[in-house]
Structure 1
Amino acid sequence: MKKKIVIISGFSGVGKGSVIHRLMEIDELVFKDQSKIWLPVSDTSRTMRNKEDNYNFVSITDFQKRVNEGYYLEYNCYDENGYRTPREPVLDALGKGETVILEIDRNGMEQILSDERLIDVDIITIFICANANKLQARLLHRGDGKDDISRRMIIAYNELSHLSKYDHIFINDDIDKTALRVWALVHGLPVSDDGFSEDLFYQG
């Protein structure tokens, strides 16, 4: 069986986690206990926002110790917080024929694409978008402060220039629809991309 990694990036607050959660629900509904989609638990040095179950919250000291030991497959610093994916669980899952879902940013994606240990892995990259008004509303809804929202919107604007590096670009207007499209890609079904540009980002 061909080894596969699906990388999902997107603007902060665009709903990446919700799409991935729904994606896994869909696969379990279709395949029941035969589902082969696997999502690793990432390490982060930031504090917990609300109830979050797909991060392992570690101290800065432990975080740096693991970095020095070569524990991570990819890493990045976002908004002054570290985010990293443990290497061995991902390699083990690929060896078992699991499709690995990675919720990482462009820097992490580029590290994965250049990793010689993954030369025999089929890697699909997806970027999830929303326009500026919807993005700000989502950030506000999840409890981000004014300064945080402003900073994340600037980061989102800068990310626009890197969209061409991704295989697929989806506008997340509906979580179920977006999750179904990602599910189709996971299983090798044809899916059309959404056109997304700087103009659409600012469109009301």
Structure 2
Amino acid sequence: MGQLLALLEDSGALDLIALELAERPGPKGLPVRTVLVGVLLSLHYHRSATLADVCRVLLDQLRPPTRTWLEVPDPATVDIHGRHAFTRRVYRAFDRVTTALDPHRCDRRRRLPTVEALQVIAAWEEEAGAEQVRRRRVLQEISDRLVLVTVRLAHQRGLFRGWRGDIGIDTTPFPAWHKPHPDRKNLSSVEITAGWHHCGGSVRSMWWPARASPPGR
């Protein structure tokens, strides 16, 4: 766990997120790093990035020193109501991040009317407004830093010693639509965890079972 936390801090991604949240009103709530570490742990051990699994990891699967670092309560002292309250804190902390960074917030867990889905798509394209473009750039920078910190660490440890060529890292964000827009129901999915990817502005699409959130999204 300490390694994951060190990666997050060394990447500088937490600093970028803190800058975006600095001017937001209201209480600070649960530290963002706690939620992000929980997401990474859940992905690593359970191949899941759902917040429900993140809450279970944070409450039930951490050692005492780790709970202290992340400001997570001792599960032995928390009843069912306390667990529910902590879960709500996790959801609120994650919601603060998505509110500050998402170019166009929407409920990606359900299919949207096609008109709304097209607005979401437009927010990720070049015709978006200035604030949407700025948020996309911040997300891209966060993505770049999270990827490059692992590459730098691997290079420092000599893991590329036997590699004779150049090292190139591509963290280009790409949209992933679950299925092509159906005409009959006039509903569209913008779920980003798996779907049909439209590449290079073409009408051709390819299926790619991306389990984790695509870089920069």
- Whether TM-score is above 0.5 comes out as no
TM-score w.r.t. the length of structure 1 is 0.28
Which structure has the highest strand share of the two?
A: 1
- More helix, by proportion: 2
Greater relative contact order, per chain length (Cα 8 Å cut-off, separation 6+):
1
With the length of structure 2 as denominator, give the TM-score of the two structures. 0.27
